[in-house]
Amino acid sequence: MKFRPCIDIHNGKVKQIVGGSLKDSGDYAKENFVSEQDAAFFAHLYDEKGLTGGHIILLNAAGSPYYEATLNQALSALGIAPGKLQVGGGINAENAEMFLDAGASHVIVTSYVFSNGRVNYDNLKRLVSVTGKEKLVLDLSCRKKDGKYFIVTDRWQNMTDVEVNEATLDELSGYCSEMLIHAVDVEGKQSGIESELAKELGNWGKMPMTYAGGVHSIEDIHALKKLSIGKLDVTVGSALDIFGGSLSFDDVIEACKG
């Protein structure tokens, strides 16, 4: 299991938020933590620790008055650790190359590919033609409905009809090199992992995948490792001491190695 660090940027600040609280209207989010440090600080910290494959997420829509400040934070972080961090949030075929040129190792995409409740294959193929499969990460962030997990888009505000299951994972794996899965119902709540989702993803396990959501203890990391048969990497946000939580950043790094 690899620890994948994160830098979430909202309204021009590095934050940890309750994932399901995000609203484009008024650029609102329920905040767990707002850092006094900028995104470049965290990129430097992760680079010092030898951590790669983490992700920077822009949480403002392109039309937001805060978008430029959020974008500038993301670009500064990419410049600190070129080729070592991924970036997501509002990525499309028109701007993907700009982020890759700025130093992103991969671009992470949800809403451009999943629109109007389904997979937009025209957009997906257009994107792959720009990035190549090897530099594309598909974000299958999901919420549970009627006992099943469905992909959510537009900064986790809109539910699609695309279920996260073996058939979907098989189909989409042909277009990307990795997948990122936020369990949105527990994201930012430090309430424990989505065990059922972790087990389902691990049982599939055919390509690199990163799980995010609910991790608040070393025991959660061990449970995730066991449930996924070691097939999932992990992101931890709000629970970390560097983001105002009680979980040691260094202990998490060590737990993922063990």
Whole-number Å distance between alpha carbons of 194 and 209? 15
155: Cβ–Cβ under 8 A, 6 or more apart, which residues? 22, 24, 59, 61, 89, 111
- Global pTM reads 0.93
By DSSP bridging, strand 118-119 and strand 114-115 are antiparallel
Q: Along the 258 residues of the chain, how does pLDDT read in single tens digits?
A: 999 999 999 999 999 886 566 667 677 778 889 999 999 999 999 999 999 999 999 999 999 999 999 999 999 999 999 999 999 999 999 999 999 999 999 999 998 999 888 999 999 999 999 999 999 999 998 999 999 999 998 867 789 999 999 999 999 999 999 999 999 887 656 668 999 999 999 999 999 999 999 899 999 999 999 999 999 999 999 899 999 999 999 999 999 996
pLDDT of res. 29: 75
Residue 69's identity, in one-letter code, is A
State the Rg of the chain over Cα: 17
Q: Please name each of the domains of the chain with its CATH number.
A: 6-257 (3.20.20.70)
Strands (E), the chain: 6-10, 13-17, 31-34, 54-58, 85-88, 107-109, 114-115, 118-119, 136-139, 142-145, 148-153, 158-163, 178-182, 209-212, 232-235
